[in-house]
Structure formats: C-alpha cells, structure tokens
C-alpha cells in the first residue's frame, strides 16, 4: 500500500487548527509542517473549485498556490503537495516504480466528474506509470452513514446503482466505493486501494462542514512528499 520510506504523507486534524490560507491558516501550517519536517516555503497548494482539473507540478511551482485545480501530480523529490478538506475525500496516489506522487480533492462533484480517473490517466500519460503499480489511499471523509442526498442530484449517480443505499425514506451514497470502482476499472489492483474508516462527521477530531455548518469553512490539510 502506501507504506514506503520514500514518501511522507498524511493529514492534520482539528487540534492542528484551521488550514485554509485565505481564512488565516498560514500560522497553523507553519507549526504543523515544521513538526512534520516539511519545508513550508516549498509547499504547493491546490486552490480548490470542486472540479476535475489535474495539474502537473514542477520545481518552478514550489511555494505556489495552483489556481482552479483539484488535483496535483509530480515526480519531483522534496516538493510537497497539499490541499484542504472538510468532508470531501482526499485521495493520495503513489507509484513507487516511477517515483510519482499525486493528491486530489474529491467532493461529490469531483467524484462524478471522475477526478480519480483523470489522476491515473495523467500519471500514465505524462510520467509513464503503469496502472498496476499505482497505490491509492482514500483519506478521512464524510462516510456513507452521513452522506445523504435528495432526488435533485440523484441523476448524477445513475452509473453507480450499487453504491446507492435506499433506507427508511433516505438516499445515501458511498462516495469512496464509487472512487474504488473507478480506480479498478482503470486497472488499479483492489489490493492497492485502501479506504480510511474515519468519518469526519462522526469523529469530533475532524472539522466537518456538514456537521458544524460554520460561517467560514474550517478544514484539515492533506499532504504528500516524495523523498
């Protein structure tokens, strides 16, 4: 899986504080990444728009915020990638053979826009990765127990009937299982896909937009760096 001494990766939690830059997260990032041994001046951040744009990151992007992007990919060592999340799925990608890492943000819109598939295609087409060599970790997110939808967006999930649960008059969708299906269909081995059991709504050590309904979004940060 993602257990390798060639990468540093993970996520913050509520105790580490707000991580969104435009909402005052810089100081918390400084403290957090210093503790992780990751150079903040090199950190590349995704400026999220709930889309499916994947951006290839080079040394020239060090320290930048990448506008209008929900996916970052690089083969550059010691160039950390990051994005914030507060119920959406943080997706981590790693091809140890080619030395390629990736990070994507997938809310329900990103899931149905198939950002996970586009991440795999970028790694294969731009870095010569083989799908069978790529490991994927789906981080803490709003699990199926709390991702309830209404009929108004049900049509977006018509391809994924097995991941929809109708129960007691409610409709719930398992976003992580949809992503898993997408990855398997693109050639990722089921053995190389791991899904976190942490629910951002159920567990109070995470910020959850759906649970807390804050005036300003409070968010964790996900990160990955190749040594």
Please say whether the beta carbons of 119 and 71 come within 8 A: yes
- Cα angle 85, 191, 77; round to 5: 55
Q: In this predicted model, what pLDDT tens digit does every residue of 127-136 receive, in sequence order? A: 999 999 999 9
DSSP letters of 106-139? E-HHHHHTTHHHHHHHHHHHHH---GGGEEEEE-
Question: In the structure encoding, which two tokens stand for residue 209, read together?
Answer: 């937009």
**Banded model confidence at residue 107, pLDDT cuts 50, 70, 90:** very high
Q: What is the pLDDT of residue 76?
A: 98
What is residue 202's three-state secondary structure? coil
Taking the alpha carbons of 146, 14, 217, 67 in that order, is the dihedral positive or negative? Answer: negative
Q: In this predicted model, what pLDDT tens digit does every residue of 39-72 receive, in sequence order? A: 999 999 999 999 999 999 999 999 999 999 999 9
pLDDT at 37 over 80: yes
pLDDT, mean of residues 10-20:
98
Q: What is the pLDDT of residue 100?
A: 98
Q: In this predicted model, what pLDDT tens digit does every residue of 154-178 receive, in sequence order? A: 999 999 999 999 999 999 999 999 9
**Banded model confidence at residue 3, pLDDT cuts 50, 70, 90:** confident
Determine what percent of the chain is predicted with pLDDT higher than 70: 100
Q: What is the pLDDT of residue 2?
A: 80
Q: What is the pLDDT of residue 1?
A: 60
What is the distance between the alpha carbons of residues 85 and 88, in angstroms, rounded to a whole number? Answer: 6
pLDDT at 203 over 80: yes
Does CATH number 3.60.140.10 belong to domain 7-141+188-226?
yes
Question: In the structure encoding, which two tokens stand for residue 120, read together?
Answer: 């795999």
- The domain locations on the chain are 7-141+188-226
Helix axes 115-127, 175-185, angle to 10 degrees: 30
pLDDT at 89 over 70: yes
């Amino acid at each position: 899986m993602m257990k390798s001494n060639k990468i540093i990766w993970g996520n913050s939690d509520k105790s580490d504080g707000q991580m969104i830059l435009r909402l005052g997260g810089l100081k918390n990032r400084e403290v957090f990444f210093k503790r992780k041994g990751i150079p903040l001046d090199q950190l590349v951040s995704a400026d999220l728009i709930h889309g499916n744009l994947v951006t290839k990151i080079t040394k020239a992007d060090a320290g930048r915020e990448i506008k209008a992007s929900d996916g970052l990919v690089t083969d550059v060592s010691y160039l950390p990638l990051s994005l914030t999340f507060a119920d959406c799925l943080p997706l981590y990608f790693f091809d140890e053979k080619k030395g390629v890492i990736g990070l994507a943000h997938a809310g329900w819109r990103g899931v149905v826009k198939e950002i996970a598939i586009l991440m795999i295609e970028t790694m294969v087409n731009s870095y010569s990765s083989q799908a069978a060599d790529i490991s994927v970790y789906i981080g803490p997110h709003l699990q199926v127990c709390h991702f309830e939808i209404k009929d108004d967006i049900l049509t977006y999930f018509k391809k994924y009937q097995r991941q929809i649960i109708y129960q007691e008059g409610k409709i719930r969708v398992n976003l992580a299982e949809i992503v898993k299906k997408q990855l398997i269909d693109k050639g990722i081995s089921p053995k190389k896909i791991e899904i976190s059991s942490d629910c951002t709504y159920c567990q109070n050590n995470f910020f959850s937009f759906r649970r807390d309904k804050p005036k300003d979004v409070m968010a964790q940060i996900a990160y990955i760096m190749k040594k």
